[in-house]
Amino acid sequence: MARPRAFNIDDATARAMNLFWERGYEESALSELLQRMGIVRGSFYKAYGDKRSVWLAALDCYDRTVVQPAAAALADHARGDGLERLAAFLNAPAAAVRDSGDKRGCFLCSAAVDSAANDTESRQRILAMFARLEAGLFDALKTLNINAGASADALSAQAKLLLTCYIGLRVLARAGSSVEALEAAAQAQIAALATA
């Protein structure tokens, strides 16, 4: 009979995700991964197989814990009108820095430009996460009065633009932009939405 795991795989994966987020795939040595995940080599290979599998599991973890909830919040009418939901989304990068000092930006954004994202499996996961966020933005945008009668193509283009703005804010946060600069950029975009 197989012995049960001596560690929580979800916790270990989340810790690996945080290491990849901070250092990138190539700079995260296996020994460092094992230490950060709190597991031994044998358990690592039994649970994951290899470093690439941990990377894919980390992408799935980010999708499940960050991207899907963000997309759901954008589409959730109980969280306010479309503009309020969009404002919360665009203010999130500044809030992360202001409230918790988190200047890592966005794991999805970092992963998208990481050398590890060059394989098909990684690319599919990354593009699917961006698509989920874009769909959430689309849902919020279509409830704005200014968009009454707008075509699906026009709303889709606007959602892509807002996603690009959000990605830029996350990258600026990682680059060390001040909270004030992040807030000002987000507020300018929100004001443009409100008055368009």
Query: Is 149 a member of any domain?
Result: yes
Whole-prediction pTM value? 0.91
pLDDT digits (tens, 9 = 90+) for 28-41: 999 999 999 999 99
pLDDT digits (tens, 9 = 90+) for 26-80: 999 999 999 999 999 999 999 999 999 999 999 999 999 999 999 999 999 999 8
Q: Which long-range contacts (CB under 8 A, 24 or more apart) does 132-135 make?
A: 132/63, 132/67, 132/68, 132/71, 133/67, 133/70, 133/71, 133/74, 133/163, 133/166, 134/159, 134/160, 134/163, 135/71, 135/75, 135/159
The overall average pLDDT reported for the chain is: 93
Query: Is 16 a member of any domain?
Result: no
Query: Is 117 a member of any domain?
Result: yes
Residue 103 structural domain: 58-195
Query: Is 43 a member of any domain?
Result: no
Does residue 1 surpass a pLDDT of 80?
A: no
- Counting the structural domains of the chain, the total is 1
Residue 187 tokens read as 């507020």
Residue 10 tokens read as 């979800």
Residues 6 or more apart whose CB falls under 8 angstroms from that of 174 comprise 103, 104, 105, 106, 109, 110
Q: In the structure, how many helices (H) and strands (E) does the chain have? A: 10, 0
Asked whether the beta carbons of 112 and 51 are under 8 A apart, the reply is no
> 60 versus 1: which is more confidently predicted?
60
Query: Is 83 a member of any domain?
Result: yes
pLDDT at 196: 61
